[in-house]
Structures are given as structure tokens and as C-alpha cells.
Chains A and B, each alone.
Chain A
């Protein structure tokens, strides 16, 4: 019986020890890419942040770990904490992280000058590369920055450059929408209509373009045409540009389409 207990105790000791070793190995000693992927996948839970902390401690120049750890802070509005980490990632590897920081500052914080600084710096570091921070053309994003700053001439320059670089048939149609909006703001209503039409030539379900054309026709005094296009905007509103994280600068709403439609009938 004594022998049995002794063997039982030894087995338990081995099981407990192996269990602990597996956990410690998984969290602190397994290949860093595997740990990074796990922590990235489970973004937001404490374990994920702890694993990034361990990675940063073990590899102080692992810029992706700083960057990825910052994401949940920025998503939850803790921008001070997020920026400290993201700034460190940029400091270590500016080419890899400047674009994301610019994109974040533009889309999440609407801090246009800071975003432009990052995009310009990234561009200067990669003169031969057409940068695409977070998958969007750098000139498109710069155009959005200038649009946000209400510098419409400069925004037009950037959106046109984006179209030239990415070619008319391949470019994000929102470049044309923004061009239309800029021309509208500058009072060039006919030019605005032609720019909005360029978006419709690529994709007929672009409510931003229909709405823009309706507003331009109203300014030109062509109310019947305005009515025709506002109906199309209403019909296509379900195709509008939106994002679950943030409101876009050129986002339109059904309520404003209906309000405009109402104003045309008065």
C-alpha cells in the first residue's frame, strides 16, 4: 500500500510539473512568432497583453509587439497608453509603423496635421515605393487629411495623384467622390457633377455620388434633376460607405438624404 502511495505521489508530481512546464513554455518560451500570433488573435484579454509584455521584455526591439499591444488601447479610447506603445514601434521601425500611425491618427483621432506628418515622413523614407498604409493609397489618405483641413485645392491634388498612380479602373471610387465634394465646396458645381459621375461609371451603386450630384444640381437651379438624383441616392443608401469602427469624413446618412429630398419639394 505504501509503495502504491509512493508511486501515486510520484505520478502526481510528474503530472503537475509537466502541466506547469507546458504553460510556462507556451507563454514565455515557445517560438516568438507563435506567441505573437496567439496574443494577436486573442487581442484584448489580459493574457494577450501579458504575452506582449513578455515578448517586449525578451526582445526589446520587436516593434510588432509594441504595435500590436497598442491596438486594444486605441480601440478602447485609451489613446495616451496606445500612443506610447505605437511611438516606440515607430521609433524602432519607422518604415513598418509610420503608415499605420498616420492612418490611426487620421481615422480615429481626426488629427489631420499629425497624420500628414507621418504620411510625408513615410513617403520620404520609401521614395521608390507607392505606400499603402493599412491597405489604402497614401495619396488617398493625404487627400482625406487635406479634405478634413478644408484645404480643398490640396485635397484635389492628392486625390488626382492617387488616381494617376492607381489608374482610373483600379482606384478606390471614393477618390472620385472626394474630388466631387472638393469641387462642390469650391463652388465648381458642374465640375463636381462630372467628378461624381466618374465614380458612377465605375460602380452605379454609389449613393455618395448621387447625393453629391443632387446637391450640385440644386445649386445650379436644376431642381428636377436634383430630385431625380436624390431618389437614386435614397434607393442606393444601403451601399453607402461605412465602417463599424469609425465614421468616414464623407459618410452620408439616410436622414440627410431624406431631409434634402424634403427641402427640394418645398
Chain B
């Protein structure tokens, strides 16, 4: 074997190794990108804004939903309380006359009505009338939540006679230190 032949082998083999490595690298990058995008799209399409997940620190463990992956919105499945908002206001009449607040604004409760008509997983948001974040006394919030929990046997959301878990929203309007409206 002459020195020229060896030299020629180097010339021919080296680019092949380079090309093979490059191809593997490009394949890996394209696979990684495609896999990452797939995972990201899956996450983006299976999660919804406003999802309330169980939080062991604040939620009642005895309250269970029927299908964790399928909690719908009240307006999609017509979740309601028997007798409607009028009945809710009636149930709250004692609290409305007794409870006083230092500030004005809206207290919004969002919670789950499960497929059996029970309620749980309460979350609360508070804003003033300019819709900027506001805060009302924790104790008052707890009192309202307890009163909502007393509302039993909701009409769960239904679609084609099948019952579903759903989210419900209840607003309490606070004006002149009193609850003036519930809607």
C-alpha cells in the first residue's frame, strides 16, 4: 500500500463520517422539534382557561367530581339551582340583611356543580366597580361560601339526558356596605 492510497482513503472516508453524523444530528433535531411541538399542542388543547383542580389545602376531599377530565361550563349544559336566582336570593335573605362590608364591588364565586348536584371546589375573585382587584374581609367571604354550600340538590348540567360536572359563577354585588344583588 503506497502512502498515496492511505491518503486517498482518508479523503474518501472522512466526508462519509461527517455526512452520517450530520444526518443523525438533523434527524434528531427534527424529531426533537416535532415531539416537543406535539407535547406542547397536546397540553394546549387539553387544558382550558379557568380549570379548577382539586387543592387538598382548601377543598373538601369528600366532594368528588364524576369526570375530572370533563368539567363543562354552566352555560353549555344549563346548570341551575331549582327556582333559579330568585330562590338563591331567598335563601340568602338572612345573610343579606345581616352581613356588612367596609368596601364596595363584586365578589365572584366560581365552583363546581358535580353530576349529582353537589357543590365544591370554591374559588373567589373580588373586584371594585372599576374591575380592579379588591379585597373583602376573609371572614365575610367564608360566611358567603358556607351559605352557598347550604344550597343543596342543584340541577346538574345536562346534555342528551346525561348529567355532567360543570362550573358555575355566582356574583354578589356589594354597595353601601350591603349585598344589594346576587346574579
| B44-A109 in contact (CB<8A) | no
CB-contact partner of A24 in B23, B37, B46, B181, under 8 A: B37
Helix, strand, loop or mixed for chain A's interface? Answer: helix
With A16-B34, A76-B49, A255-B87 in contact, do A46 and B44 touch (Cβ < 8 Å)?
yes
B26 interface contact, C-beta 8 A: yes
Whether A125 is near chain B, meaning CB under 8 Å from some CB there, is no
CB distance from B74 to the nearest CB of A (A): 8
| Beta-carbon contact of A23 and B37 below 8 Å | yes
Answer whether residue B24 sits at the interface, using C-beta atoms and an 8 A cutoff. yes
Check B47–A77 contact: CB distance below 8 A.
no
Cβ proximity bits B133-175 to A, threshold 8 Å, 1 near / 0 not: 1000000000000000000000000000000000101010100
The minimal Cβ–Cβ distance linking A109 to chain B, given in whole angstroms, is 6
A75 touches B73 (CB 8 A): yes
A13 CA to B28 CA in the complex, in Å?
A: 8
Residues of chain A lying within 8 A (CB to CB) of residue B125:
77-80
In the complex, whether A124 has a CB less than 8 A from a CB of chain B is: no
CA distance A44 to B45 in the complex (A): 10
Q: Mark B23-63, 1 if CB is under 8 A from A, else 0.
A: 11011001101100100010111111110000000000000
B178: interface (CB < 8 Å): no
Say whether B31 contacts A77, CB under 8 Å. Answer: no
Q: From known contacts A13-B27, A77-B125, A244-B78, infer whether A46 and B84 are also in contact, taking CB-CB under 8 Å.
A: no
Interface size on B, residues (CB 8 A): 45
B129 and chain A: residue at smallest CB distance: A111
Nearest-CB distance from B160 to chain A (Å)? 16
Q: Determine whether the beta carbon of A13 is less than 8 Å from that of B50.
A: no
Complex CA–CA separation, A76 to B125 (angstroms): 10
A222-266 residues at the B interface, CB under 8 angstroms: 244-247, 251, 253, 255-256
Beyond A78-B50, A79-B125, A80-B131, whether A255 also contacts B34 by CB under 8 A is: no
Docked pose: A109 CA to B126 CA in angstroms: 12
Q: Knowing A16-B27, A76-B169 touch, does A47 contact B75 (C-beta < 8 A)?
A: no
Per-residue B-contact encoding for A6-26, CB less than 8 Å = 1, 0 else? 100110110011011001100
Q: How many A residues have CB within 8 A of the partner chain?
A: 42
The reply on A45 being an interface residue by CB < 8 A is yes
A110 interfacial contact with B, CB 8 Å: yes
A109-B125 Cα distance, complex, nearest whole Å: 13
- Please provide the chain A residues from 91 to 126 with a CB less than 8 Å away from any CB of chain B in the complex: 108-111, 113-114
Q: Which chain B residue lies CB-closest to A148?
A: B181
Q: Is A49 an interface residue (CB 8 A)?
A: yes
Say yes or no: B27 contacts A9, CB within 8 Å. yes
Interface residues of A (CB under 8 A from B): 6, 9-10, 12-13, 16-17, 19-20, 23-24, 42, 44-47, 49-50, 72-73, 75-80, 82-83, 108-111, 113-114, 244-247, 251, 253, 255-256
For the complex with contacts A9-B27, A77-B108, A82-B131, 13 further pairs of A-B residues with Cβ separation under 8 Å are: A13-B23, A20-B30, A20-B37, A23-B41, A24-B37, A45-B45, A73-B50, A75-B75, A76-B73, A76-B110, A77-B109, A114-B130, A251-B84
Pairs across A and B, CB under 8 Å, 11 listed: A45-B47, A46-B44, A49-B49, A50-B44, A72-B50, A76-B73, A79-B108, A80-B131, A108-B171, A244-B74, A255-B86
